[in-house]
Structure 1
Amino acid sequence: MKYQNYKTTTAVFAVLMLAACGGSGSSDPEMMQDGALFAVLPDGSTQSVNEAFTAGVTLTADGADTTALELDFNNDVTTPVESTFSLTSDGNGGVVVVNNGMSTSFSATQREGDDGFEIDNPGVSFVGVFGQSNNIQEILNGDDAYSGAVSYLAFPENGDPTPIVSYNVLGARTAPDVMPSSTAVYGGGFKIETLPATGFDSFGDSRTRIRGDAELRVSTSGAISGVLSDITVQAPGSNDRTDFAGTIAMSSSQITDGTFSGDLTADATLVSSLTGLSDPEVGTYAGRLYGPAAEEAAGTLTLQADGSEGPVNGVGFFRGED
């Protein structure tokens, strides 16, 4: 059972998950524009993620908002894939999640303490949704944040559909014609979960978690770039986080219609620290601006790195506030 060791490691997330309330699960056209959720409504008023969620709007992630890995448990192979994700309140304290067309309803009774919602049918499947960027209870039902990240896992024992892990940013977007200040600095954090591209034992026993600080800066030309620093690595099966010297650069990208994307490159210090890293080019990032005045920047991280023991794939998020 390749997913069986996952539950022993979920406690390390230490985040509160979705305590949904209210809403009918519809996408109110007054709150949505062209199928997307924006922070400024047609009447000029504003909305945060929790206001939209509480009103019953379906929160969606696609394109720059989501990154995913398929996990072939039979052949021990992981593969980056495109993904779509949505989350809606069921109106009774639970949530309805749809990932790549697979719909799962989590009732209020299927909340597992502070970890999140999960459905575990031993020998059949494991499905779960977990908060990542911060306290999702506060994002969706409490504070006035415009963005937040959640992860989703679906591990059917028979491999149909293919097991998947995805990271998804949900948020109220900045209008495409609104640009951040040329002095904007977005500070926050990031997380990446990695697995060998080939030859892994199980999700829980093979997963490495990389965390740290994220900072993105906007230039006078309207470009954005960033750096991932203060990096810690949590090895498979361990609860300890080890500090690693060095940084990962997020290459400069012109902001277009509120979105941006680029490459991830480890500096020489990090390459030296991570003795298994053989190439500084470690992946890509994609993100967008959130909030009425571009108060937040958030997005996804997709890792495809070459290590001394073979290629590694990973998915994650970054998020920062100006």
Structure 2
Amino acid sequence: MQRFILLLGITIATLSAQHLYAQVGGQRVFEFLEISSTAQITALGRQQVALGYDSSRVQEVTQFMFNPALNQPGLHQQVSIHYTPYYADIAQVSLGYSHHREAVGTFGVALQYLNYGSLESFDATGLPAGDFSAQDFAVVLNYSHEMRPFRLGGNLKWVNSQISGYAATGLLADVSGVFRHPTQDLTVALVFSNFGILLRDELSAGIRELPSDVKIGVSVKPQFMPFRFHFTAYRLINGYDYREEDGEELGIGGQILRHLSFGSELLLTPNFQLRVGYNHLTRSTLQLPQTAGGAGLTFGLMFRTNTFRVDYSRATLHAAGAFNQVGLSLNLDQIFLKKL
């Protein structure tokens, strides 16, 4: 494990140096795909791609939107829906369903929808010109297959963004692999996300870069501790402007931290968990000069019974405030059996 972490740090530093003066955001189409669509991932730092194996009856389905290899037989006939109210009437909804066929594999379908509410427009003279709407959505088809101790998965995404009658459409794909240790609670994940083609573009004004990324994640639970620890290295092919506000360049430690997301779960019981996470990129780029205001910190919890599961998270992006995210997962197989 120590060798893996050392190698990961060297890799991040090398890739970061190759993209020293790229910007954090606003330079790519379909960037909404990088927004965490599940309360569990949000609570753990908003970027985790390696989640520990969960053998309980009700699990979270839409996690395969971030890592397609996380779809597994235990999710058979389960459905999850997540709702996130942001600021100024902006809201996100995501839902997913999983189905397993023996000797074939595990299939999934999901939808991510982000609505920006009603926006006011103005003409060239500054006079009101009526309201318009804007939304993003992605339809995701998933397949995963196990080859112990590895599991491989893929997502095919049809993505669309619309603003006042103008649209951009793309066909993207994710490919990933997950290694689960046969005797220890250890998961390692590698994800290639959002690679594909732009089919139609009326929005980006010449910017045609997709939100493609490579992510490496690790999840580990020490044998005699009620904690599971997570960290993910992300944006490994997209760097940033690593200069501080005074123009001085960040050191190598600060550069590496901007590519890492940390999370931890307190496993109180199989049916109740507490979560906390930290994202250094969010904190370093969105904090105010006077105060950080909790930027980059996230937390949440999970509660479940035999038929349903509730996930909740709260994330602080800026001193101006935080947002909440809630998810509901149902075991349809268990519900139908009870009715019979």
TM over 0.5: no
TM superposition score normalised by structure 1: 0.35
Find the structure with the greater CA-based Rg: 2
Greater length-normalized contact order (CA 8 Å, ≥ 6 residues apart): 2
Larger relative helix fraction:
2
